[in-house]
Structure 1
Amino acid sequence: MRIKVDLNQTTYPRCILEMKRRFGDRIALRDKDGDMTYRALCTSSEQLGAYLLSQGIRPGEKVVLHLGNTRLFIQCLFALELIGALPVIVFSACREHEVFSIADTTEAAAYISFRSFKGFDCTETATRIADRIDSIRTLFFDDQLEALDLSGYALAPEQIADPSPEDPAYIVLSGGSTGIPKLIPKKQAATLWSAEKCAEACGLDETTRYLTAMPCAHYFHICGPGFMGAFLQGATDILCYSSLPSDIVSLIRQEKITETALVPSVASECIAYAKKHGNPKQMFESLRLVQLGGAMCTADVIHAVAEEMGCVPQQIYGMGEGLVYATYPQDSLDFILKYQGINTSAYDSVKVVDEAGNPVPDGEFGELIAKGPNIATAYYKNDEANRVKFTADGYYRTGDRVRLVEGKYLQVVGRIDDMINRAGEKIFPAELEMHLRQCSGVREAAVFGIPDPALGSRIAAFVICDEDTSGAAIRRELIAAGLASFKIPDDIFFKDAFPLTSVKKIDKHALKQEAEERIRHAEQETLQSFDHIGDPTERSVYTAWARALNTGELTGDCCFIELGGNSITAAAMLRELEQAHGISLELEDFYCADTLDAFCGLVKERIAHE
Structure 2
Amino acid sequence: MHQHGIGAWLAKRRLKSPDRIALVHGDQSTMTYRRFADGADQVAALLRRRGVGKGDAVAYLGENSPEFLQVMFGAARLGAVFVPVNTRLAPPEIAHVLVDCGARLLIHDPDFAPRVAAVVTDAQIRHVLVTGEGTADRPGLTQLLGTTAADVEPTKVTMDDPAAIIYTSGTTGRAKGAVLTHGNLTWVALNCVVDYDVVSTDVALMISPLFHVASLGMGALPVILKGATLVLEKGFEPGRALAQIERHGVTMLSGVPTTYQLMADHPNWASTDLSTLGKLTCGGSAVPTRILNAYEERGLSFSQGYGMTEASPGATSLPPAMTRAKQGSVGLPHFFTDVRIADENGAPAPPGTTGEIEIAGPNVFLGYHQLPEETAEAFTADGWFRSGDLGYLDTDGYLHIAGRLKDMIISGGENIYPPELELLLSEIDGVTGVAVIGVPDARWGEVPWAIVTVREGAAVDTDTVRDFLDGKVARYKLPKNVVIVSELPRTASGKVRKADLRTRFGG
Alignment TM-score, normalising by the size of structure 1: 0.64
Cα distance in 2 between the residues matched to 1:140 and 1:124: 14
Distance 1:181 1:304, change over 3 A: farther
2:260 to 247, 261, 267: 267
Higher normalized strand content (fraction of residues): 2
* Contact in 2 for aligned 1:165/1:188 (Cα 8 Å): yes
Report 1:310-459 matches (<5 A): 310-322=299-311, 323-329=314-320, 331-346=321-336, 348-383=337-372, 385-406=374-395, 408-418=397-407
Report 1:124-135 matches (<5 A): 124-134=114-124
Deviations 1:484-529 (A, max 9, x none): xxxxxxxxxxxxxxxxxxxxx995x644x61425x79xxxxxxxxx
Q: CA offset at residue 241 of structure 1?
A: 1.0
> For structure 2, which runs of at least 5 residues remain unmatched after alignment?
135-139, 423-434, 444-473, 487-502
1:194 match: 188
Q: CA offset at residue 389 of structure 1?
A: 2.8
Q: CA offset at residue 25 of structure 1?
A: 0.4
Distance 1:313 1:27, change over 3 A: same
Report the 3-state secondary structure (helix = DSSP H, G, I; strand = E; otherwise coil) of the residue aligned with 1:82.
helix
1:282 to 260, 266, 272: 272
Answer yes or no: is 1:50 the counterpart of 2:45: yes
Cα distance in 2 between the residues matched to 1:370 and 1:51: 38
Aligned length: 431
Report 1:460-499 matches (<5 A): 461=439, 463-464=441-442
Report the 3-state secondary structure (helix = DSSP H, G, I; strand = E; otherwise coil) of the residue aligned with 2:175.
coil
> For structure 1, which runs of at least 5 residues remain unmatched after alignment?
1-7, 117-121, 420-428, 434-445, 452-456, 466-504, 521-563, 566-610
1:231 to 176, 201, 224: 224
1:169 to 158, 163, 171: 163
* Contact in 1 for aligned 2:280/2:301 (Cα 8 Å): yes
2:291 match: 301
Cα distance in 2 between the residues matched to 1:60 and 1:403: 39
Answer yes or no: is 1:108 the counterpart of 2:103: yes
Report the 3-state secondary structure (helix = DSSP H, G, I; strand = E; otherwise coil) of the residue aligned with 1:150.
helix
Distance 1:407 1:506, change over 3 A: farther
1:516 match: 483
Cα distance in 1 between the residues matched to 2:204 and 2:370: 35
Answer yes or no: is 1:19 the counterpart of 2:13: yes
Cα distance in 2 between the residues matched to 1:267 and 1:38: 30
Amino acid paired to 2:265:
A
Q: CA offset at residue 23 of structure 1?
A: 1.0
Distance 1:114 1:179, change over 3 A: farther
Cα distance in 2 between the residues matched to 1:96 and 1:178: 19
* Contact in 2 for aligned 1:315/1:336 (Cα 8 Å): no
Aligned CA RMSD, in angstroms, stands at: 3.4
2:241 match: 248
Q: CA offset at residue 20 of structure 1?
A: 1.0
Higher relative contact order (CA 8 A, sep 6+): 2
Q: CA offset at residue 21 of structure 1?
A: 0.8
Cα distance in 1 between the residues matched to 2:249 and 2:104: 41
2:80 match: 85
* Contact in 2 for aligned 1:127/1:139 (Cα 8 Å): no
* Contact in 1 for aligned 2:183/2:362 (Cα 8 Å): no
Report the 3-state secondary structure (helix = DSSP H, G, I; strand = E; otherwise coil) of the residue aligned with 2:199.
coil
Q: CA offset at residue 400 of structure 1?
A: 1.7
Q: Larger C-alpha radius of gyration, 1 or 2?
A: 1
Alignment TM-score, normalising by the size of structure 2: 0.77
* Contact in 1 for aligned 2:83/2:165 (Cα 8 Å): yes
Percent of counterpart pairs with the same letter? 23
Deviations 1:175-226 (A, max 9, x none): 66994332111111331121122122222212211011100111111121x1
Higher normalized helix content (fraction of residues): 1
